[in-house]
A and B are shown apart, each in its own frame.
Chain A
Amino acid sequence: MTTYEPVIGLEIHIQLATRTKMFCGCELSFGEPPNTRTCPVCLGLPGALPVANAQAIHFGLLIGLAVGSQLAPRSIFHRKNYFYPDLPKGYQISQFDEPLCLGGQLAEVRIHRVHLEEDAAKLVHMGASGRIHASDASIVDFNRGGTPLAEIVTEPDIHTAEQAGEWLRLLRTTMRQLGVSDVNMEEGSLRCDANISIRPAGTTELGTKTELKNMNSFRFIERGIRAEIARQEAILDGGGRVTQETLHYDPDSGRITSLRSKEEAHDYRYFPEPDLVPIAVDEAMLDAARTAMPELPAARAERFEQEVGLSPEVARRLAFRSELGDYFERALAAEVDPPAPAQTLANWILADLLSRLGEADGTGEDPNRSLVTPSALGALCGLVASKRISVGAARQVLDRLVSDGGDPKAIVEAEGLEALDGGDDLAAVVAAAIAANGDAAEKIRAGNPKAIGPIVGYVMRETKGRADGGEVTRLVNEQLGI
């Protein structure tokens, strides 16, 4: 059986968080009653004219700078013509062959282009199913119509569904850092289409691609891409050919259905929008964009590695999720005594803290939304690193912090969780543990160090986890004369 290499390119639409719409003065809508954020321009009334939003152009330039695009000194808007009730003018103002940003790269994926356009209005289908088929009527809410969008098109540099998901998360973080969008898939401010083809592994010629539309969560994107790859593999393995078409993935059934074939594709009759003047990017606009450019995830990971001394893997995991990176930096900056080493902090955030957060407690795995303040975690890590408390005790403290918040030192004191030092107290407990576990002691003497478990367990029970594991092992070996 042939093995195939999938080739995937993404088209991402990002709703820009500007104050007003792309071509009129209406404020962006966040759940207002239908058709209350409208004007003659975004309703496409006769005689109304568009005026391009300067803030949207600024955001477009920020995105271009962030992914290393060439920023076009002059770009123009085009009209993309087609009829649909959610498109009040009968055309969408978009960019075509002279976009704002060309080329670029984010992590391992090259960017083809970034351009600006306007969003369509929202259709609401009346009737039981909520879908267009079998609905009694459809009504249009123009509040969303005209919202600024940046469309980011990648080169076909992605080869697995997981890579697509990972990369999209990085893109989301980058956009969030830039402050250009809420980038929330569930709310539709981040939308992704995937162009997918497969080819026999080791070959270079691209196969026929299909376009998978509008997957509205990271999970569905990965699932949808996997399903489409499997579908294409089955076709080729069966001796068939993939046809170029636009597809819809239904996350409920897992089924992929055709929306339209290549022959049914629209002829959009693109032509330069005569109602707008070209976007001429001058030095002042470039300066404004450069000045507004924050540190991006890749640069942050680099800094975590070089300046803070984290391992590359840990640095990326923190930096590529801005909320983790932010939390980490706040905890690191907290003045705690004893100080918390960076790597310890990072490990505790990525392992112990994240595993305690999630949907159930309403934090969505965002530690900033938890009761554990960055300085509390810093203090806790300082106590662990200086061996003032054992790892086991620290986990107990963290449980308390997650459920109730508070100050780790106070919790340690109140609960008597200070580590037992290597002195007589601990030596006595170890001696009792050896006496109570004669079998285990024999095995250790016979050369099986793994048999220490029951003895350590006894010590931990007796000390309520306050003993340091390393110290206990040392004492056991000492008392057994090894």
Chain B
Amino acid sequence: MADLLDLSAAAAARAIDSGEVSATELFDAYASRTREDRLNCFTWVADNPPSAVSGAPLSGVPLAVKDLFCTANVPSQSGSRILEGYLPPYTATVVERLEVAGASLLAKTNQDEFAMGSSNENSAYGPVLNPWDHTRVPGGSSGGSAAAVAAGLAPWALGTDTGGSIRQPAALCGIVGLKPTYGAVSRYGMIAFASSLDQAGPLTRDVTDGALMLRHMMGRDECDATSLQFPEEIALPSAERLDGVRLGVPEELTGEGVEAGVLQAFEAALAQAEALGATIERVHLPHAPHALSAYYVIAPAECSSNLARFDGVRYGLRAENESDLLGMYTSTRHDGFGPEVKRRIMLGTYALSSGYYDAYYARAQRVRTKIVEDFRAVFEKVDFVVTPTSPTVAFELGAKTGDPLSMYLNDFCTVPMSLAGIPAISIPCGLAGAGEGLGVNGAGLPVGLQLAGPAFSENRLLDVSYALEQALAFDPTPARV
């Protein structure tokens, strides 16, 4: 058979199932591959495969899990110094569900601290490198998960998306990333960034793997009051044509600020969709340009409260040699949090302060409502909204670290869907910058196509993405180790 490590997760599960390969063999192959990681994808790697789950649908296929998921007795640090070495006593619901379905924990992946970042440069455990170009970022915050999957260091990985943290790194690394409908997947055991936005989702080599992982992680969880019963089972996608599918291109998210190379690949993908039978329409999301501003009030406000528990009293880092409580709190949080986390705690604390609440938090929530209404109106006319996932291809390490605003603009196209709580997927749709000699051997850098649909439209979204994926025939091999 072809190289074991070239198999998609679904193909690997079938191979184990049919006895062509053993789960242990596959696990060992990946475990030794992870030890050769030069991208800094991992914060922890398993020594031994967990005992095999025979007959389970995922057949023991190894799984990489973003650091911020709690995994019992395995370091879960959310990319932060303040949780260095923290061993949770319990496992997050989605990880547990995937394990019950037969996935085996291979590694924990590097990420921006507390999922705050778009480049993975905010990790206390060092930046992750983009497998397409080691001088560039993999995107963030699920940068370790995206880079590991793109490089073939893991068959697939679990990530989280708050404002684009699955979709944007998937785009920059040339893989598939899906953010489900808010509530479709339990948040229990995910170390929270912004509770009303956080969702777990798959980062995979192809759309089929994305569907397969989603099928085994979603569903109502009694431990998460905001989780919902998904109305149907997730099917593996099979569409070949897009006849009758109406795609809407929002003008507000496809104009100024999007790189020429990205636009080019995007337009080519749209032409491909038309060739498959889809119709393309211009649509409007009039409030989408305000989404980023609203997001950077709501998410920091929630994080300022969510991160209050890291106070040195019960777990994680505690500053020693402080004589009083305030001193202990201040030093612990001073030493434990990185600059971006501190910036957002400050922003959020300010936005919630007495006298400013209405001007910031309450107003941002009204914008959020407007954005929900915008999408509702658009989905009366079209089935899906399509945009480039990220306005740019992967940028160089350090290029934006001194300018938070330009860093925040990476999320320009992904944040509106997060605020609306609707499902969105990024699939690789081509390469940009080949002419300038960018990427591995000058092959160029990946561009992501984002498709978003109404709440609970995951099955149709996956089907359309699958048909496009087959037609686009993106070549991921330059990134493979």
Q: Enumerate chain A interface residues (CB-CB to B < 8 A).
A: 40, 43-52, 79, 81, 83, 85, 88-91, 140, 267, 269-271, 274-277
Report which residue of A46, A51, A274 has the largest number of chain B beta carbons within 10 angstroms of its beta carbon.
Answer: A46
Is A83 touching B195 in the complex (CB atoms < 8 A)?
Answer: no
Is B314 touching A44 in the complex (CB atoms < 8 A)?
Answer: yes
The 5 closest A-B pairs by CB, nearest first: A90-B308, A274-B195, A269-B352, A274-B196, A47-B189
Q: Mark B38-75, 1 if CB is under 8 A from A, else 0.
A: 00000000000000000000000000000011100000
Contact residues in A for B92 (Cβ distance below 8 Å): 47
- Residue among A51, A81, A269 making CB contact with B222, cutoff 8 Å: A51
The number of A-B residue pairs with CB atoms under 8 Å apart is: 103
A-B contact pairs, 19 of them (CB 8 A): A43-B314, A45-B70, A45-B89, A46-B310, A47-B188, A49-B187, A49-B223, A81-B305, A83-B311, A83-B329, A85-B311, A90-B305, A90-B308, A140-B313, A269-B305, A271-B352, A271-B361, A275-B187, A275-B226
CA distance A204 to B227 in the complex (A): 51
Please give me the residue from chain A that is nearest to B312 by CB atom: A85
CB distance from A263 to the nearest CB of B (A): 13
Report which residue of A140, A270, A275 has the largest number of chain B beta carbons within 10 angstroms of its beta carbon.
Answer: A275
Contact residues in B for A43 (Cβ distance below 8 Å): 314
CA distance A44 to B314 in the complex (A): 9
Contact residues in A for B406 (Cβ distance below 8 Å): none
* Supplied contacts A46-B310, A269-B357, 4 more A-B pairs, CB within 8 Å: A46-B192, A47-B192, A140-B313, A274-B195
Q: Mark B301-333, 1 if CB is under 8 A from A, else 0.
A: 110110111110111000000000100010000
Is A45 touching B349 in the complex (CB atoms < 8 A)?
Answer: no
CA distance A91 to B188 in the complex (A): 18
B88 at the interface (CB under 8 A from A): yes
B264 at the interface (CB under 8 A from A): no
CB distance from B36 to the nearest CB of A (A): 31
With A83-B308, A88-B309, A271-B361 given, is the CB distance from A47 to B225 under 8 Å? no
Is A277 touching B226 in the complex (CB atoms < 8 A)?
Answer: yes
Is A51 touching B223 in the complex (CB atoms < 8 A)?
Answer: yes
Is A49 touching B188 in the complex (CB atoms < 8 A)?
Answer: yes
Is A271 touching B301 in the complex (CB atoms < 8 A)?
Answer: yes
Contact residues in B for A40 (Cβ distance below 8 Å): 88-90
CB distance from B310 to the nearest CB of A (A): 8
Number of B positions contacting A (CB below 8 A) = 45
Please give me the residue from chain A that is nearest to B362 by CB atom: A271
CA distance A47 to B88 in the complex (A): 9
Is A46 touching B83 in the complex (CB atoms < 8 A)?
Answer: yes
With A40-B89, A46-B88, A83-B329 given, is the CB distance from A51 to B225 under 8 Å? yes
CA distance A366 to B6 in the complex (A): 80
Please give me the residue from chain A that is nearest to B348 by CB atom: A269
Is A89 touching B308 in the complex (CB atoms < 8 A)?
Answer: yes
CA distance A90 to B70 in the complex (A): 20
B190 at the interface (CB under 8 A from A): yes
With A46-B76, A274-B195 given, is the CB distance from A81 to B190 under 8 Å? no
Q: Mark B349-379, 1 if CB is under 8 A from A, else 0.
A: 1001110010001000000000000000000
CB distance from B43 to the nearest CB of A (A): 15
With A81-B352, A269-B353 given, is the CB distance from A44 to B225 under 8 Å? no
Report which residue of B83, B313, B353, B357 has the largest number of chain A beta carbons within 10 angstroms of its beta carbon.
Answer: B313
CA distance A277 to B227 in the complex (A): 10
Contact residues in A for B69 (Cβ distance below 8 Å): 47
CA distance A81 to B311 in the complex (A): 13
Contact residues in A for B226 (Cβ distance below 8 Å): 274-277
Contact residues in A for B68 (Cβ distance below 8 Å): 47
CB distance from A87 to the nearest CB of B (A): 9
Contact residues in A for B315 (Cβ distance below 8 Å): 45-46
Please give me the residue from chain B that is nearest to A79 by CB atom: B305
B10 at the interface (CB under 8 A from A): no
Is B349 touching A269 in the complex (CB atoms < 8 A)?
Answer: yes
Is A90 touching B311 in the complex (CB atoms < 8 A)?
Answer: yes
With A40-B90, A85-B313, A88-B314 given, is the CB distance from A47 to B222 under 8 Å? no
B217 at the interface (CB under 8 A from A): no
CB distance from A277 to the nearest CB of B (A): 5
With A271-B361, A275-B195 given, is the CB distance from A46 to B305 under 8 Å? no
Please give me the residue from chain B that is nearest to A85 by CB atom: B313
CB distance from B60 to the nearest CB of A (A): 25
CB distance from B460 to the nearest CB of A (A): 26
CB distance from B98 to the nearest CB of A (A): 16
B122 at the interface (CB under 8 A from A): no
B224 at the interface (CB under 8 A from A): yes
B86 at the interface (CB under 8 A from A): yes
Please give me the residue from chain A that is nearest to B349 by CB atom: A269
CB distance from A121 to the nearest CB of B (A): 10
Is A271 touching B83 in the complex (CB atoms < 8 A)?
Answer: no
CA distance A140 to B352 in the complex (A): 29
B424 at the interface (CB under 8 A from A): no
- Residue among B191, B225, B349 making CB contact with A46, cutoff 8 Å: B191
Please give me the residue from chain A that is nearest to B77 by CB atom: A46
With A46-B70, A51-B223, A83-B329 given, is the CB distance from A267 to B192 under 8 Å? no
Please give me the residue from chain B that is nearest to A41 by CB atom: B223
CA distance A427 to B11 in the complex (A): 115
Please give me the residue from chain B that is nearest to A138 by CB atom: B325
Please give me the residue from chain B that is nearest to A50 by CB atom: B225
B78 at the interface (CB under 8 A from A): yes
Contact residues in A for B354 (Cβ distance below 8 Å): 267, 269
Is A275 touching B361 in the complex (CB atoms < 8 A)?
Answer: no
Q: Mark B224-243, 1 if CB is under 8 A from A, else 0.
A: 11100000000000000000
Contact residues in A for B352 (Cβ distance below 8 Å): 81, 269-271
CA distance A274 to B69 in the complex (A): 19
CB distance from A271 to the nearest CB of B (A): 5
